[in-house]
Amino acid sequence: MKPVVSLEDVTARYGPGTPALESVSLDVAAGEIVALLGPNGAGKSTLLRVMAGALAPESGTVRLGGEDAVAMDRRRVAQKIAFVTQTSDVAFGFSVRDVVMMGRAPHQGGWMAATGEDERAAGEAMRLLELGDLAERRVDALSGGEQKRVAIARALAQTPSLLLLDEPGAFLDVRHQLALYDLLVDLAARGIAVALSMHDINAAAQYASRVALLKTGKLVAVGSIENVLTYRTLRETFDADLYCGVNDVTGARFFLPMRQTQRT
Ligand code: ADP
Ligand code: MG
């Protein structure tokens, strides 16, 4: 598969000192879900920001559909990439329907008059995130998890070819987490490239096509669940012991954090 986004030898930093991201090369292809895992401060959010074009790398290249993303027109980037940030601020004072419709802005003309296509894309996004009953509610009157689903729906209304999500499961209850991950699998099957950061290693093992492990700005490992999510690489990445088990019916891997017995 041709990569939708391609990072080559990317270094990025916020100021002097250690770079937040160092010499990272990573592709995300159409139809795949790449999970970014790593401890706090590893560079997951920074990597997503660079992919989204929200942070210019200090060195290295970012290609979007083969083009240099840094030089690309912002509006064209927004037509291709949707980024659900960790805080994913939704505009307060607006209804759920209005906020989801804002995802259509990169496709609309100067007056932002909604076309039938805009209505269809926003309606479909609300349906996929089960927001139908909340459509006329003001976003400020919703729970954190509901607001997160609105932000994801706004991203889907953008009809991106690359969907980036920063810890999207964090505020969601278990059913909505599973529904979201299933939805990402459906979107990938339709040819969208998905990259997300997460702390749930079990969800990554079940839903991701590939995983990338980050630590102190460097890519520790990238590849299949079988090759990357091993006791040894997880131990090196997180400085924690995880029991790695295999479901003997499905063959799926699962992980349990272990009590650290060597501490004094
Ligand atoms: P992660 O998402 O894996 O927790 P981040 O990408 O947010 O990690 O952070 C990587 C490094 O960059 C950390 O050392 C963090 O302190 C630093 N960093 C992140 N955002 C900023 C910022 N806006 N300004 C300065 N430093 C930042
Ligand atoms: Mg982060």
Per-residue pLDDT tens over the stretch 147-181: 999 999 999 999 999 999 999 998 899 999 999 99
Per-residue pLDDT at 54 exceeds 60? yes
How big is the chain, counted in residues? 264
- Average pLDDT on 69-92 reads 89
Per-residue pLDDT at 2 exceeds 90? no
Atom of ligand 1 nearest to the CA of 217: 10
Report strand pairing: 193-197 vs 162-166: parallel
Res. 71 pLDDT band, cuts 50 70 90: confident
The answer to whether 163 and 30 are in contact (CB under 8 A) is: no
Res. 87 pLDDT band, cuts 50 70 90: confident
The answer to whether 38 and 214 are in contact (CB under 8 A) is: yes
For residue 40, what are the contacts with CB-CB under 8 A and spacing of at least 6?
Answer: none
Q: Whose CA is nearest to atom 6 of ligand 1?
A: 43
Strand partners, 68: 63
- Average pLDDT on 110-115 reads 76
Amino acid letter, residue 231: Y
The whole-chain average pLDDT of the chain stands at 93
Amino acid letter, residue 106: P
Per-residue pLDDT at 260 exceeds 90? no
What are the backbone dihedrals phi and psi of residue 165, each rounded to the nearest 5 degrees, phi first? -135, 130
The answer to whether 208 and 33 are in contact (CB under 8 A) is: yes
Supply the pLDDT for residue 196.
98
At residue 262, the 3 state secondary structure works out as coil
- Which-ligand-closest: CA of 167? 2
247/143 Cα distance (integer angstroms): 35
More confident residue, 251 or 211: 211
Mutating to test ligand 1, I would choose from 46, 83, 166 the residue with most ligand atoms within 8 A of its C-beta, which is: 46
171/82 Cα distance (integer angstroms): 19
Per-residue pLDDT at 195 exceeds 90? yes
Give the range among 88-97, 125-134, 170-179, 229-238 with minimum mean pLDDT: 88-97
Q: Is the CB of 45 under 6 A from ligand 1?
A: yes
Identify the CA nearest to 131 among candidates 103, 161, 106. Answer: 103
Amino acid letter, residue 197: S
Q: CA torsion angle for 158, 54, 72, 109 (degrees, to 10)?
A: 40
Res. 252 pLDDT band, cuts 50 70 90: confident
Atom of ligand 1 nearest to the CA of 46: 6
Q: Is the CB of 46 under 6 A from ligand 1?
A: yes
What is the Cβ-side half-sphere exposure of residue 259, based on CA atoms within 13 angstroms? 2
The edge-to-edge listing of strands for the beta sheet with 33-37 is: 81-84, 162-166, 193-197, 33-37, 210-215, 218-223
Per-residue pLDDT at 247 exceeds 70? yes
- Average pLDDT on 27-47 reads 98
The answer to whether 205 and 228 are in contact (CB under 8 A) is: no
Q: Is the CB of 43 under 6 A from ligand 1?
A: yes
pTM listed for this prediction:
0.95
101/114 Cα distance (integer angstroms): 8
Mutating to test ligand 1, I would choose from 11, 40, 45, 50 the residue with most ligand atoms within 8 A of its C-beta, which is: 45
